[in-house]
Structure 1
Amino acid sequence: MDNFTLIGGRFRPKEGPVSGAMGDVWTAEDTRLGRTVALKFLARRRLLQQGAPTEFAESTARMFQREARAMARVNHPRVAHIYDSGEHSGDFYIVMEYVEGKSLAGHLRCGPRLPLERTARWIRQICEGLDAAHTAEVIHRDIKPENIMITRQGDVKLVDFGLAYLTDVTQTHIAAGTPLYKAPERWHGETGSVSSDLYSVGCVLYEMLTGHPPFGSHQDDALTVGRMHQDDAPAPPSAHRPGVPAQLDSLTRALLAKDPAERPKNAQTVAHAVGEILNALNITDAAGRADIPDTQGDNASFSKRIEALDLRIFELELLHDPSDQPLIDARTEHAEVTGQSGDTRGAAAMYNKLAQDCQMLFGPFDVRTLDAFEGLARWNRATPAN
């Protein structure tokens, strides 16, 4: 392909190609709008010339066309946009947003481990993009560092929906995926789901925190890695990297649960949880935990109980709806222990938030709402007047 060829009557190749097993990606100029785009061609003819079975080449073509449909459904800043698709000289192509930057895999290969704040921020953005895809009924099925681009502005763009599954469209099941990031249930032939995408996010998070995936390495054969995903429990990230907050350990463990039902409900839940972690990282001291008022009683004991309840609530919020009783009970206990530690204003504030939430969830006369308002009044009375 030369620089004088116009693809689709408007796209002029400039640089490339960067070649992969299934296709080539060129940098191109959109002559109509005067912008740089990424032009991805399916190497169907090359596959046939190299001896690939016709059935495989045709299946690859269907995957390529499905990638275009999947990307076209998702309109979000954290997902690379698709502008056009078509056929040129017998080969299919997709025209996509040109992302100027480097893949997360490139960042992981370069130098020291990522800072915790950057890790949390990028994971939140990954989940924001995934949530948009899942809302559009698109399951990515190949979340891995190579498919996560980091722009020059330091923001995430999800790319490569070549293995995507459209949940509302009947299609052939595909077991393909990248072994190091593939959920246990997918090794049993399941199609893929919101939960399996989140498991892959957990593998990526683990690698961002520790410098290596939770199971296996690029040198291991796929079946060995698959058995690890199905049978083994990874050490918490903090075992490899002292200083990782307990909340990140807990989130990673939840994402990597073998049973999909034990993982977070959706990507939005994870994004929210990571936002809470980011807030904690911004206000914690050098030891990695927030200061807790110690005004009376056994200060060390109260601090440990409060810290444990913080983590317990964080874990419950990943797995439960706000109305579920285990979460209500944990929030109530958190408020009580906070008040017993001497922080009566903090206890009153927690009960106030719980009361407002219960009123919205259950109504003003529900026993849970009334109990929370009673706790608010009780700790308000215990607070000294200024």
Structure 2
Amino acid sequence: MSAAPRLRIGRKDLTFNEADRLGRGGFGTVFKGMWKGQPVAVKVVDEDIRQEIDRDDLYDEVLKEVEPMLHVKHPYVIKFLGICTDKTYGPMIITELCEGGSLQSYLESGEPLSADLRAKFTKQICEAMQAFHDHGVVHRDLKPGNILVTKLFDLKITDFGLVIDLSKTLSTAQGGAGTFLYMAPEALDSNAKGLTTAADIWAVGAIILQLHGVSVQVLFKCLVRLRKAPDIPDSIPPQARDIIKKCFAEKPADRPTAKQILEKLGVSYVPSTQQGAAPHTRKGPMGWLLGSFKRQAAVSHSPTSASSTNVSAVGHSSSVHMSTANTTTGPPSSVAKTSQPPPQHIAPPAQQPYVKTPESAPPPQIKHTDIFEAVNAADPQNVRLLIARDGKGILDKRDNNGWTPFIKAATKGHVGVMSVIYESKPDVLQQTDETYGSNAMHKAALYGHVAAVNQLMAWDAKLLDARGGADGKTPFIMAVCNKGHVDVMKFLYAKRKDLLTQTDNNGDTALHWAAFWGKSAAVSQLLEWGGGALLDIKGNYGKTPWDDAKDKPEIREIMQKYKRYAAFPTQQPSAKTPPSAPQPQIKHTDIFEAAKFGDLQSVRLFIERDGKNILDKRDGGFTPFL
């Protein structure tokens, strides 16, 4: 009797918590877990899918995603460790953990990749896809979000929920699934009959262009709307530009293979497939695994199995009862011999030898003297290396401004660097600068970095109500101050409409500050959203936005049409209002002293008395704002 493959992971050996969510895949959510002392990724099928489809069909769908990882053994394809079954969550896919995030997170930062990194990533993507295609496998959903990055900056192709095995079809496969931007024309038709491995090459070309700085907006316009190849960047070697264009050929047969792309780039391709790889069938290990899980599911749902074994439940100490939660490598003794793979079948995947693959490029070297220099240079690669070398404690260091590396990255808008730091130390979201008490969200909004604000919101939406500085400004108010970043205002307003009436500790709204700083575009946008009612809001010192614009005729001109046609003029009280409190007096000798003590009131009075030019004065090289 042949040995059973080591594909099943005992439930008692696996722990994970739903709070440790890493992301989403084709049909499930991925969590960080632990298996026998090593960190792993745990993919759980979505609850609505578990409830809608038959249990046997669910196992079939899970195994469909697993099969490519079993048969395509490659250093740049995510490593499959096994399947674990749970009474609540059903079959769960366990793979190696890539803690560097996705390639998409690097590209979204807008920071250019180094030439070495571009070449390395292109080589690894092409080699992995050629391995798939050599096995007759079409990925169908290749995109930066499905490519993970390791700590050593190697790539791993993942998410095989839409994979097609051409050996199970006559010659080609059905289309109609995938991510729009990266889909070849023939893949857009749900009734397509001509889907081949060439469909993946369209996506490979798009990703290579992104690695070289072509934006998603340009790709969408050219590939989706115009259906033509974008201009090829000069950073791509001249001898390879034509073949990259051919990735977007209308006819699949006119597109190159991944191997041909590498050859044009001057990279020799060495196959890295598994010798004697199992054919893509449900016989052998896959057949045994499918049968084993179906038998286990049947037993675990039977009335007599409820108390047979106790194992740890997800995230807490209560028990889940499962009949076969063990760590043995073979099937349960009660399983008939006919359910096991016969001796002539291929050996388990874990026992297969590899063809020697070319060595990876040497790990990148640290180029900067400290982490602040790496952050300033927008170098996520070196930030990661510095954290690995010096430990997470360096993320609490402060520069001369009292900023941490994370706050500095947010101030610069370096999303890629922010992502690396956040992955290493999530509590950096609570860090504030030492001078004003502002966090990363305040800085990103103040300096107009929409992408950084977007990413911070994705990590913690409560940051929208965070207050910073002596006067307690919110991020929305910060977006108005100094520069009047309307793009940031629009992004935040789309999240919450009540931000229009949010006030700082002095009772001032965003419109107060837009009027005070003379930001006409911000004033126009705020009044367009909120109407004339915003002009009637008084701060703690009795001033309205109209009052704050008294020496700014261009601002009052914008306000006038809203003031004249205020939303509810008849509702304004006609009775004489009590006189405003006496105007506060300047308490400090100059504006620098007022700024040092965080005295907004005196700063405002200095500006009103001496004019805006005092904001350009210097004290030890610093302006009052700095």
Change (3 A) 1:198 1:56: farther
Q: From 238, 249, 253, give the equivalent of 2:241.
A: 249
- Which residue pairs with 2:252 in the alignment? 260
What amino acid is the match of 1:16?
Answer: D
1:83 alignment partner, one of 68, 81, 84: 81
1:10 aligned onto 2:13: yes
Q: 1:215 aligns with which of 216, 219, 226?
A: 219
1:111-122 aligned at under 5 Å gives the runs 111-122=110-121
1:232 equivalent among 218, 227, 232: 227
- Residues 86/126 of structure 1: CA separation in 2 closer, same or farther (3 Å cut): same
Unaligned runs of 5+ in 2: 1-8, 269-626
1:275 and 2:266 matched? yes
TM-score, normalization by structure 2: 0.37
Partner of 1:46: 48
Percentage of matched positions with identical amino acids: 26
TM alignment of 1:187-202, pairs within 5 A: 187-188=188-189, 189-190=192-193, 192-202=195-205
Q: Give me the whole-angstrom Cα distance separating, in 1, the residues matched to 2:16 and 2:10.
A: 8
- CA distance, structure 2, for counterparts of residue 58 and residue 127 of structure 1: 35
Contact 1:86 1:94 in 2 (8 A): yes
- Normalised to the residue count of structure 1, the TM-score between the two structures is 0.58
Specify the SS of the correspondent of 1:210: coil
1:1-386 maps to which residues of 2 (within 5 A)?
8-13=11-16, 16-18=20-22, 20=24, 22-31=27-36, 34-43=37-46, 45-47=47-49, 54=52, 62-89=60-87, 91-170=90-169, 173=174, 175-188=176-189, 189-190=192-193, 192-213=195-216, 215-216=219-220, 226=224, 228=225, 232-238=227-233, 242-264=234-256, 266-276=257-267
CA distance in 2, matches of 1:210, 1:106: 14
**d(CA) in 2 for partners of 1:94, 1:9:** 15
Bigger radius of gyration, 1 or 2? 2
Query: Shift in Å at residue 173 of structure 1?
Result: 3.6
Tell me if structure 2 keeps the 8 A contact 1:179–1:225: no
Secondary structure of 1:175 counterpart: coil
Q: For each residue in 1:20-65, what CA deviation from the matched residue of structure 2 results, as whole angstroms up to 9, or x when unmatched?
A: 373221211112xx3221111111x33467xxxx369997764432
Instruction: Give the Cα–Cα distance (whole angstroms) in 1 for the partners of residues 157 and 82 of structure 2.
Output: 18
Contact residue 174 and residue 195 of structure 2 kept, 8 A: no
Question: Which letter does structure 1 place at the counterpart of 2:42?
Answer: L
**Corresponding residue for 2:374?**
none
Q: Deviations for 1:257-312, whole angstroms, at most 9, x for unmatched residues?
A: 11111111x222222332349xxxxxxxxxxxxxxxxxxxxxxxxxxxxxxxxxxx
User: What is the aligned partner in structure 2 of residue 299 from structure 1?
Assistant: none
User: Take 2:91 and 2:119, find their aligned partners in 1: how far apart are those partners?
Assistant: 37
For this pair of structures, how many residues does the alignment match?
252
Q: CA RMSD in A?
A: 3.0
Compute the displacement of 1:147 (Å). 0.8
Runs of 4+ in 1 over 6 A off after TM superposition: 56-61
Gaps of 5+ in 1: 1-5, 218-223, 278-386
Does the CA contact (< 8 Å) of 2:84 and 2:93 recur in 1?
yes
Q: Distance in 2 between matches of 1:13 and 1:174?
A: 35
**Distance in 1 between residues matched to 2:195 and 2:207, nearest whole Å:** 17
Task: Work out the CA distance in 2 between the residues paired with 1:135 and 1:12.
Answer: 36
Aligned equivalents of 1:271, 1:215: Cα separation in 2: 22
